[in-house]
Amino acid sequence: MATMERVFPCLTCKKEIRLERKADNTGWNKFNLDGSAHIHENKKSNNNTTSSSTQVAELTKKVETLESKIDTLIAQITMLRSEVKSKK
Smallest gap from Cβ 30 to Zn ion, in A, equals 7
Smallest gap from Cβ 81 to Zn ion, in A, equals 21
Minimum CB distance to Zn ion smaller for 12 or for 19: 12
- β-pair partners for 28: 21
Minimum CB distance to Zn ion smaller for 8 or for 40: 40
Which residues lie near Zn ion (CB under 5 A)? 10, 12-13, 40
Minimum CB distance to Zn ion smaller for 37 or for 56: 37
Q: What is d(CA 12, CA 33) in angstroms, rounded to the nearest whole number?
A: 16
Alpha helices per DSSP H over 1-88: 52-87
For 25: left if phi > 0, alpha if psi spans -120 to 50, otherwise beta; the answer is left
